Structure 1
Amino acid sequence: MIAAAAGIALVVAAMVVPRISDRDVRVHWPPLHADWDPRFGWRFVVAILVGVALWYLLPRLTDRLSWGATVAVSTAGAWVWAMSLALTDGRYGLARIYEREGEYLFDAKRVDDVGQALSTFIDRIPRGSEDHWHIHVSGHPPGALLSFVLLDRIGIDDPFWVGVVILTLGTTAVAAVLLTLDVLGSRELARKAAPWVALAPLAVWAGAGESLYAAVAAWGLLLLAGACRHSLPAVAIAAGLVLGFCLFLSYGLVLFGLLALAVLALTGGWRMLPWAAAGVATVAVLFWSLGYAWWEAYPVLRERYYAGIASERPYSYWVWADLAAWTFTVGLATWAAFPQLARSLRDRIPLAVLASTALTAIVAASLSAMSKAEVERIWLPFTVWVVAAPALLPVRWRAPLLSTQVGVALFSQIFLVTRW
């Protein structure tokens, strides 16, 4: 309860400090990149009913179903929960994300030649360059753009359906997290974690591109865990290819390497490291041969980042307010689990190790000054591992704390218009 209260205090401070100091921290509703806009209607009633039903049913089902059915039901429940929240604003709830000029879809439609787009990618990052990329494409490696180019090429170019695809693929991260814990020898704890991961408040941001990146990274980590557990070099190479591609989805996913190292440490599968590294190197060399070098692009991006709104967002505020914004995606139940998470870490419980490592990556991202606001979506690839932490708490806490997770998501959806 004290830990949860600390989370509340941090959120309140992040709301109050800008008002007391009369300082513009460059978001509309600190600490979230959102607008205060309470609204209600029959679609919100549906979302509330879905949330209550899942709160009641998921724990009971995941306790009794077979393991395969538990994974399937949890993933399906996460999809239903995220869709019910997104559709409270009708089709617009998902379409508005990808209708904006600054989003990936706009630039993806401008790509006629993928090879040329890659070879000129770095030159088009600066805002003053001719035919520059818009904000999200310029802020990410080209793997993100290519993902949306692929959707466009196969005929998924309507903003609403793009949102549906991203949300659907993103919710598969639930299955990947649970299966990874199982491979690491924690099936029963994974079963307990299932409702927590499925009903985490991060569902409000499930339509953002980072939701897709979270799923790709989670499946890559699952492959690595399987390779290490069963000494399978071919699977380790596949894991390296997937995790290597993650580096070209988001610059921040370089920190996901910490979770990969955690899996290697938990399994003692260090012999698989060279094989996985070969997979990562293959992806990097492929992009480099096509004209894009990650290590050359990042300094250029940093210049553009600080030439824009980042220079107006005070580091002294965001270095801690980022965690307040992030609280809206993990909920107070996760804060309540932190003391038990620390105790479980000493026993090398896989869930605790992975969640703590993800927390370490999050803190590092905030300290880096490259994460200032908007972390409610940016940190999704790490957040999906942390939200499993309440599974470490006694079962008697499950019903009341799980209800707060549903409540936080409904509050965010009903009272706020989030950017994603």
Structure 2
Amino acid sequence: MVVGLAAVLVGVAIAVGLYLNRDGSGVVIFAPAPPLFGHWLPHVGPGTPLALLVAFAVIGWGPALAAKLPWHGALSLSYLAALCWTLALALVDGWTRGFTHRLDHPTEYLHEVPGITDIPAMVQTFADRILQGRPDSWTTHVSGHPPGATLVFVWLDRLGLSGGTAASWACVLVGCLVAVAVPVTVRALGSPAAARAMLPFAVLFPGAVWIAVSADALFAGVTASAIAVLALSGRAFAERARSAIPLAVIAGVLLGFGIFLSYGLVLLGVLALAVVLASRSGRALAWALVGALSVVAAFALAGFWWLDGYHLVVERYYQGIASERPFAYWVWANVACLAIAVGPAVVVAMRRGIGAGARTPIRRWDGALVLGGAALLMIVAADVSGLSKAEVERIWLPFTVWLLPLTALLPPPTRRWWLAGQAVVALTVNHLVLTVW
């Protein structure tokens, strides 16, 4: 039933979007293949047979291997399978169009990298170049994010890893860490069975279409790893392990850097707080705050104050196409994008999770419910903010991956069918739409 409703929502979003896109409508949604940001272009590519092979293997053997393999072996296999799935989807568009040239568009970060010869000066003057209409205004993606996002690609360039290919590899390799970090978090919160059950779904994640290749994939991988380390620190504090404080500080540093990758990732504070509360470890929270605030202080000392950047970005947001994109369409069409990006298995799992959460006292929620509930809160907040109008299939990646633990609530006999549904959605989108990222 809920999958049918989601399909209707997607169908209505497509129909209304196409209607608004017609000549003379007077409304501009800036989404040629609504509700997704891309272009209708049925096509196949060298990644097609590989994607089918990976999907077949995961559907056929994934659940059994996830249940039987030693934990670290299962995690390693999950990462490798997710990497193969993600690369295969990218190669449906071809090596050049689908991978190497995805990040060298004039609106992307790499466009600015050659002109950044003095990193301290770049950070110090970063906010001065955010607003549109100035001779030295940053390009779209650079201006729309804090300096940390651009710094990642500058650092890659300084290490000799310049150009679109290296940048794409960095995004994919880091982005696929979600297939490890999310189940590690679930297990650290005391739900080992759920962690194993979700592994195949972390592999055949339809959102992998946008992990290859977008910088938001890198953001998702970094912040997911941070949350996993935070959960491990909570468990370490409970076990009085020496690694507890270092883990908490590392988690804080990664989360602190996360808000300098994208302003919207400040919402991950909801998830971090949920993890700490589930771990019942105030000390983990305290030391994580030390790590996070050290990053904020470092950027402040370098000349960039996060709140100044945020206010300028909101102003810049409404200088561009966001001022024309109608909130009345996108506030619900975003949900259609979400349904596509997470797939039918997660849609059903969300319904089961909401039911289970309503029947169970919050203090007794397991790891899957805690993480899924926090993810829903973050997504709702992002949607109603009005600062996420379209393109959420990639922008919300750092949030949507935390809905995956809810797939552990699916009945075991049905999991292969739901995995097949996940693969069908990803393959259909990738073969009908030429996504921009």
Indicate conservation of the 8 Å contact 1:240/1:275, yes or no. yes
Deviations 1:245-280 (A, max 9, x none): 101000000000000010111011123322211111
- Cα distance, 1:18–1:173 mapped onto 2, change above 3 Å: closer
Match of 1:90 in 2: 94
Structure 2: distance between partners of 1:6 and 1:118: 47
Identify the residue that residue 360 of structure 1 maps to in structure 2.
Answer: 377
Give the superposition deviation at 1:71.
0.7
State the Cα distance separating 1:160 from its structure 2 match.
2.1
Distance 2:277 2:391 in 1: 32
Higher mean alpha-carbon deviation, 27-36 vs 345-354, is at 345-354
Amino acid in structure 1 at the alignment position of 2:268: F
CA distance in 2, matches of 1:300, 1:60: 51
Per mean C-alpha deviation after superposition, the further-off stretch among 106-115 and 227-236 is: 227-236
1:199 matches 2:211: no
CA contact (8 A) 2:322 2:389 kept: yes
* Aligned alpha-carbon RMSD (Å): 1.3
Partner Cα distance (1:45, 1:174) in 2: 22
Measure how far apart 1:234 and its partner are. Answer: 2.9
String of CA shifts for 1:87-132, please: whole Å, max 9, x gaps: 1222211122112011111112221000010011000101112311
- Percent of residue pairs identical: 39
3-state SS in 2 of match to 1:97: coil
Residue 73 of structure 1 is matched in structure 2 by 77
Q: Distance in 2 between matches of 1:48 and 1:274?
A: 46
For 1:338 and 1:281, how far apart are their aligned partners in 2?
Answer: 34
**Counterpart residue type for residue 11 of structure 1:** V
CA apart distance, 1:46: 2.8
| Counterpart position of 2:105 | 100
Aligned counterparts of 1:218 and 1:385: Cα–Cα separation in 2: 8
1:28 aligns with 2:35: no
Q: Which runs of 5+ in 1 are unaligned?
A: none
For residues 270 and 41 of structure 1, do their structure 2 counterparts lie closer, same or farther at Cα, with a shift above 3 Å needed? closer
Shift of 1:361: 0.3
More deviation in 122-131 or 306-315? 122-131
Q: How far apart, CA to CA, are the structure 1 residues paired with 2:93 and 2:259? A: 33
Question: Does residue 379 in structure 1 map to residue 396 in structure 2?
Answer: yes
Contact 2:198 2:408 in 1 (8 A): yes
Give the Å deviation of 1:41: 4.4
Conserved? CA contact 1:43–1:88, under 8 Å: yes
Partner Cα separation in structure 1 for residue 58 and residue 200 of structure 2: 8
Contact residue 123 and residue 129 of structure 1 kept, 8 A: no
Unaligned runs of 5+ in 2: 238-243
Which residue does 1:321 correspond to in 2? 333
Matching of residue 140 in structure 1 with residue 157 in structure 2: no
Corresponding residue number in structure 2 for 1:405:
422
Q: Does the aligned pair in 2 maintain the 1:121–1:142 contact within 8 Å?
A: yes
CA positional deviation for 1:42: 4.8
CA contact under 8 A between 2:189 and 2:366: conserved in structure 1? no
1:106–1:271 CA distance, 2 compared to 1 (3 A): same
Q: Which among 206, 224, 237 is matched to residue 218 of structure 1?
A: 224
Give the C-alpha shift of residue 24 in structure 1: 3.1
Task: Provide the C-alpha distance between the structure 1 equivalents of 2:352 and 2:318, rounded to a whole number of angstroms.
Answer: 39
Contact 1:196 1:391 (8 Å CA) reproduced: no
How many residues are matched? 419
Using the alignment, how far apart are the partners of 1:177 and 1:135 within structure 2?
30
Q: 1:341 aligns with which of 332, 345, 353?
A: 353
